[in-house]
Structure 1
Amino acid sequence: MRIILLGAPGAGKGTQADSIKAKYPVAHISTGDMLRSNIKEGTELGRNAEVYMDAGKLVPDDVIIAMMERRLMEDDAKEGFMLDGFPRTIAQAKALDEILDKMKLKLDAVVDLVIEDDAVVGRLTSRRVCRQCGEIYNTVMKPSSKEGVCDKCGGDVVQRDDDKEDVIRKRLSVFHEQTAPLIDYYGKQGILVPVDATGEKDAVLKVLEQKKANA
């Protein structure tokens, strides 16, 4: 299984990926994790990326693409992969096509997790995170036993700055600008699969298995 997960911040890409990984031995490759790994390992690509990140700039496409090509050749991706946060642009999508052509591989599907902006805002503004251990809570679905105190370590449970409504709506605006061309690009290839992101946690898995059975 080789897929791309498209979805707004808060659409539940991580939750859906966990459901798929529980059944299939595929690599969940997120751009953020990939960047952090290269920086931690001190690779040349990681050092290049860190220069831009430290300056508050976006990491250039050529650096991200080179990291992705290297990552897709690692052992855990041989049985399949889920890409999360890549591609973000048409240029990255075309570069990915070239990488997969060289590897003689094809994408099985590009999953578009569909969710209204207001639903995303509701999800993310209710999220809280422990400042000490990183445990995640939700004021509606999973509050800590004592408000503001982590059940796991006793640390402070806070709302992150990027989970505030004005910031979320700016992130959503950027996401829509970037993603609309990708939806059209993969739609023309016939591999775009829209999935309701407000559904159950294994919604994507069920859709992909049904698609596979009908192939």
Structure 2
Amino acid sequence: MVNLVLLGPPGAGKGTQAERLVRDYGVLHISTGDLLRYAIKAETPLGRKAKAAVDEGRLVPDQVVVALVEERLIDKEPGQGFILDGFPRTVAQAGALEQLLQSMQVPLDHVILFDIPLSLLEERIAKRAEESRAAGAPPRSDDSPEVLKKRVEEFVRATAALSPFYEQNALLRRVDASEDIERVATQIRDFLELKPKPHQRQP
């Protein structure tokens, strides 16, 4: 069993690698974006709280997102590992996740950060949009240089403090996401073979 957090900007390849990890390790892929969309559509109690925030132009409260993640973790198969994708985004969320996992007596093994230059992200997004058009499908709404730049800036601003937070906990692993899919997968497999070191939270 392995429990992971994947961090990285849009287009870095997290989704591709998550699919491989699900296939190879049988872990549960938890996307907070998917959880929110489902809860809002299903009009669950948490979904209604999330929708109220979205309708008012506010960020979905951390406690709502954490509660959604908790529900999904409780529902997973006994002994099954997980991948968290899109969460946490801030140190406050990371602290809430730490408390949640401690209360569930579930360890977090690795936090994998996908390092990649902006110029390569732009190339990948442009290629993805071109492939969509060639297949007769409209490009994704976020497959544009302007939207990509904004999303990357948001990622950097929101998650910049997460790296030192997880480095302090001896959990952060960096992969060179500019490599091809197979080499990135190899880097991740190498990390998964490491036994996580015991760590002590610093005051």
Q: TM-score range by the shorter chain?
A: 0.7 to 0.9
Q: 1:168 aligns with which of 148, 159, 176?
A: 148
> Taking structure 1 as reference, are residues 149 and 197 closer, same or farther at Cα in structure 2, changes over 3 Å only?
closer
**CA distance in structure 2 between the partners assigned to 1:177 and 1:58 by the alignment:** 15
Residue 25 of structure 2 aligns to a residue whose secondary structure is: coil
| 1:159 shift after superposition | 3.0
DSSP 3-state at the match of 1:162: coil
Tell me, yes or no, if the aligned pair for 1:7 and 1:114 is still in contact at 8 Å: yes
Percent of aligned positions that are identical: 41
TM-score (norm 1): 0.82
Please state how far the C-alpha of 1:94 moved relative to its aligned partner: 0.2
Residue 123 of structure 1: how far off its partner (Å): 1.3
**Residues in 1 aligned to 2:194 and 2:87: alpha-carbon distance in whole angstroms:** 27
Aligned-pair CA distance for 1:111: 0.2
Query: In structure 2, how many angstroms separate the alpha carbons of the residues matched to 1:30 and 1:77?
Result: 19
How far 1:58 moved relative to its partner? 1.6
Kindly name which structure, 1 or 2, has the bigger radius of gyration based on alpha carbons: 1
Aligned positions, number:
194
Going from structure 1 to structure 2, the CA distance change for 1:56 and 1:114 (only over 3 Å counts) comes to same
Unaligned runs of 5+ in 1: 129-138, 151-156
**Whole-Å separation in 2 of the counterparts to 1:89 and 1:183:** 10
User: Per-residue displacement from partner, 1:91-143 (whole Å, max 9, x unpaired)?
Assistant: 00000000000011111100001100111112113323xxxxxxxxxx2xxx3
- Cα deviation, 1:150-193, whole Å, max 9, x if unaligned, reads 3xxxxxx2234422212211111111111210011001111111
The Cα of 1:53 is off from its aligned counterpart by: 1.8
Alignment of 1:65-144 (within 5 A): 65-76=66-77, 78-128=79-129, 139=130, 143=131
Unaligned runs of 5+ in 2: 196-203
Note if 1:189 corresponds to 2:178. no
Matched, 1:8 2:16: no
For residues 163 and 177 of structure 1, the distance between their equivalents in structure 2, rounded to whole angstroms, comes to: 20
Cα offset, 1:26, TM superposition: 0.7
Query: Secondary structure of 1:22's match?
Result: helix
Q: TM-score, with normalisation over the residues of structure 2?
A: 0.87
Higher helix share: 2
Would the aligned equivalents of 2:173 and 2:191 in 1 still touch at CA under 8 Å? Answer: no
Compared with structure 1, are the counterparts of its residues 149 and 5 closer, same or farther at alpha carbon in structure 2 (3 Å cutoff)? closer
